[in-house]
């Protein structure tokens, strides 16, 4: 089956959780009214369904292939037309300033667009996602020459961008990188070194690729304090903006991966390649984090996208496949029920549906926080929303991608044995989803970031205020329409506070506190997403009370109640995992971990 964009769900979240009306009240987004946004999303949904989604399976089967030494990478055949149409339609420019050819829409709206593109074909979407991150970085840190020379083509997608951090000896420990950047007399730099894991590091979809590369200047300080950021194009650009000579950057090889076969993951070699410094010397990590934080939101949306694509296929299969006799079912054919009638299949589908809606609420709220942090007229609102975005980003990235893997696995289970067969297509989503918890700082790093940096914002006052607000919100959920939501949301807040107190008390025992960081992130994210899902449920009930009998709204309440009783209810059970300590974590000697 092809992909069907859930535009109505997206608009519901944009209006009732991300507060599209508040975003539209900001001068920069005055044009982004509800009617225009919905029309834009419906057109993007059509485009993704008709143009991008058909490239998913054949792109996976054909893959991107390195042609030979010095010859570069060839993308799957179907990608060329699809990417050309993507550029012509302007989808990559949605969130960027008009001065560089952008649409100047809120990031929350652009995130909905990215969700659809990713769901249609995750491997395809990674190319524009990296370009978006590079554009964000150059907008924030690039000088006038870099912005005027490179941004117009990158905003449209005519040129693409990459991020070059890791090296063979420096993965998550970026401070160990050794790539060098020697200053030249003309103000440029000569960049030399090897970079690995470079997504879409080379391809033949565009005439130029703009690499953002972390490297060290001569005599730079050791560690992360001595890293600078450089833009190194595949082809140099002439003064008139035309493509010039080939730069000294080559793709050495591509990785053979579990999934995302159509997305080339490259080993890149720089041999005194001409580069341009981005921003100030030795500030590369700070500048790169501008790109990485944008990418972390985008990666979180990947979990949402792939889970929703797998869910759509699982629902369709459950409405066609007959097996056994479900309790009370009288609509049998050859004595068999549709599997959607079986309680356990229905449980799996609602487990997927409710958490997909929860991830969408969290992701869009995260994006809206960034919009308000950057553009709201009130400084107090900007500061609060900046902290909210900082808090939500590790949650969106880690929880969203963990669930992307878990929910695509459930989709396979719904298919049964046919889910394990490649021809049905659902296995590809599971393979593709597995990289996202590793991308852009592993989820363990996100958990440590939450614990080490985000809980202590504003001396801890901000997070305490957020918890107090959620507790106040829970107290309003007394109506029977919300089922057990109040009970479970209050229980989640209690559990998070208990775990957080223990973590803060034991914060100097890094083995103990970091050992509990990952289950704590799940607790916190589930609570936050539950709060946002409850906000949507309140909006749905208000509309119903106002006379709107749309079944869509009734179903929103059912989904929220399921989430409360089946997902939110698990949060207190994670307290012991957070507070377990490190005694048994490290009780077994390193050398005895391996059984012989």
3-state secondary structure 96-135: CCHHHCCCCCCHHHHHHHHHHHHHHCHHHHHHHHHHHHHH
**What is residue 560's predicted lDDT score, i.e. its pLDDT?**
98
**What is residue 238's predicted lDDT score, i.e. its pLDDT?**
97
Q: Is 291's pLDDT higher than 80?
A: no
Domain segments of the chain as ranges: 141-282, 457-596
Q: How far is CA 314 from CA 143, 411, 455, in A?
A: 49, 5, 38
Q: pLDDT confidence of 292, banded at 50, 70, 90?
A: confident
What mean pLDDT do residues 300-306 have? 98
**What is residue 594's predicted lDDT score, i.e. its pLDDT?**
87
Q: What is the DSSP letter of 419?
A: G
**What is residue 204's predicted lDDT score, i.e. its pLDDT?**
97
**What is residue 294's predicted lDDT score, i.e. its pLDDT?**
80
What mean pLDDT do residues 351-376 have? 97
- Annotated catalytic, 440? yes
Q: Is 541's pLDDT higher than 70?
A: yes
What mean pLDDT do residues 3-20 have? 98
Q: How far is CA 188 from CA 191, 277, 371, in A?
A: 10, 7, 34
CA 10 distance to own-chain centroid: 16
Q: Is 378's pLDDT higher than 70?
A: yes
**What is residue 346's predicted lDDT score, i.e. its pLDDT?**
98
Q: Is 561's pLDDT higher than 70?
A: yes
Pick the CATH number of 141-282 from 2.40.110.20, 3.40.50.150, 3.40.920.10, 1.25.40.10: 2.40.110.20
Q: What angle do CA 76, 82, 88 make, to 5 degrees?
A: 140
Q: pLDDT confidence of 596, banded at 50, 70, 90?
A: low
Give tens-digit pLDDT for 147-170.
Answer: 999 999 999 999 999 999 999 987
Distance between CA 81 and CA 75 in Å, rounded?
Answer: 11
Distance between CA 154 and CA 210 in Å, rounded?
Answer: 8
Q: Is 44's pLDDT higher than 70?
A: yes
Distance between CA 516 and CA 397 in Å, rounded?
Answer: 18
Q: Is 116's pLDDT higher than 80?
A: yes
Q: pLDDT confidence of 542, banded at 50, 70, 90?
A: very high
Give tens-digit pLDDT for 223-235.
Answer: 889 999 999 999 9
**What is residue 471's predicted lDDT score, i.e. its pLDDT?**
98
**What is residue 290's predicted lDDT score, i.e. its pLDDT?**
80
Q: How far is CA 354 from CA 10, 279, 419, 526, 553, in A?
A: 14, 43, 21, 12, 14
The catalytic residue among 440, 469, 472, 490 is: 440
Q: Is 427's pLDDT higher than 70?
A: yes
What mean pLDDT do residues 8-16 have? 98
What mean pLDDT is reported for the chain?
Answer: 96
Percent over 90 (pLDDT), the chain: 93
What mean pLDDT do residues 507-518 have? 96
Q: Is 175's pLDDT higher than 80?
A: no
Q: pLDDT confidence of 93, banded at 50, 70, 90?
A: very high
**What is residue 421's predicted lDDT score, i.e. its pLDDT?**
96
What mean pLDDT do residues 196-219 have? 97
Can you spell out the DSSP letters for 335-363? TB-BGGGSHHHHHHHHHHHHHHHHHHHHH
């Amino acid at each position: 089956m092809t992909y069907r964009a859930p535009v109505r769900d997206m608009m519901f979240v944009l209006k009732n959780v991300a507060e599209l009306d508040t975003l539209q009240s900001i001068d920069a987004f005055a044009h982004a009214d509800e009617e225009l946004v919905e029309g834009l999303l419906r057109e993007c949904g059509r485009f993704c369904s008709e143009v991008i989604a058909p490239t998913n399976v054949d792109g996976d089967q054909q893959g991107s292939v390195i042609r030979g030494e010095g010859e570069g990478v060839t993308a799957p055949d179907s990608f060329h037309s699809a990417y050309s149409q993507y550029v012509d339609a302007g989808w990559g420019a949605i969130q960027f300033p008009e001065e560089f050819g952008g649409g100047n829409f809120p990031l929350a709206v652009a995130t909905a667009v990215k969700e659809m593109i990713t769901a249609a074909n995750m491997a395809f979407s990674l190319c524009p996602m990296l370009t978006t991150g590079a554009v964000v970085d150059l907008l924030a840190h690039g000088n006038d020459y870099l912005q005027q020379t490179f941004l117009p083509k990158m905003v449209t997608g005519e040129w693409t961008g990459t991020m070059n951090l890791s090296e063979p000896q420096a993965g998550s420990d970026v401070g160990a990188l050794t790539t060098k950047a020697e200053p030249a007399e003309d103000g440029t730099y000569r960049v030399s070194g090897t970079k690995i894991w470079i997504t879409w590091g080379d391809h033949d979809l565009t005439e130029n690729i703009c690499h953002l590369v972390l490297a060290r200047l001569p005599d730079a300080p050791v560690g992360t304090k001595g890293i600078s950021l450089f833009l190194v194009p595949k082809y140099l650009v002439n003064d008139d903006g035309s493509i010039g000579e080939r730069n000294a950057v080559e793709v050495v090889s591509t990785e053979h991966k579990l999934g995302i076969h159509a997305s080339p993951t490259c080993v890149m070699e720089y041999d005194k390649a001409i580069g341009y410094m981005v921003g100030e010397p030795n500030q590369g990590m700070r500048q790169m984090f501008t790109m990485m934080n944008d990418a972390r939101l985008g990666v979180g949306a990947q979990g949402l996208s792939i889970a929703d694509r797998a869910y759509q296929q699982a629902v369709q299969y459950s409405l066609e496949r007959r097996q056994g006799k479900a309790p009370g079912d009288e609509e049998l054919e050859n004595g068999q029920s549709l599997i959607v009638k079986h309680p356990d299949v229905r449980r799996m589908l609602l487990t997927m549906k409710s958490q997909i809606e929860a991830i969408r609420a969290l992701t869009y709220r995260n994006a809206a926080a960034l919009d308000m942090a950057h553009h709201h007229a009130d400084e107090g609102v900007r500061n609060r929303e900046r902290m909210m975005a900082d808090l939500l980003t590790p949650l969106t990235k880690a929880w969203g991608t963990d669930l992307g893997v878990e929910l695509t696995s459930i989709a396979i289970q719904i298919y049964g044995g046919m889910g394990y067969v490649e021809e049905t297509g659902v296995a590809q989503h599971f393979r593709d989803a597995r990289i996202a918890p590793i991308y852009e700082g592993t989820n363990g790093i996100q958990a440590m970031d939450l614990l080490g940096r985000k809980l202590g914002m504003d001396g801890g006052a901000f997070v305490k205020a957020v918890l107090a607000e959620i507790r106040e919100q829970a107290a309003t959920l007394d109506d029977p329409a919300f089922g057990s939501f109040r009970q479970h949301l209050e229980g989640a807040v209690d559990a998070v506070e208990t775990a957080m107190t223990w973590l803060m008390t034991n914060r100097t025992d890094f083995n103990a506190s970091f050992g509990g960081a990952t289950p704590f992130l799940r607790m916190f994210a589930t609570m936050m997403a539950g709060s946002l899902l409850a906000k949507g449920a309140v909006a749905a009930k208000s509309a119903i009370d106002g006379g709107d009998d749309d079944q869509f709204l009734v179903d929103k309440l059912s989904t929220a109640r399921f989430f409360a009783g089946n997902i939110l209810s698990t949060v207190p059970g994670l307290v012991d995992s957070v507070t377990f300590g490190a005694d048994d974590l490290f009780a077994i000697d390193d050398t005895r971990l391996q059984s012989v």
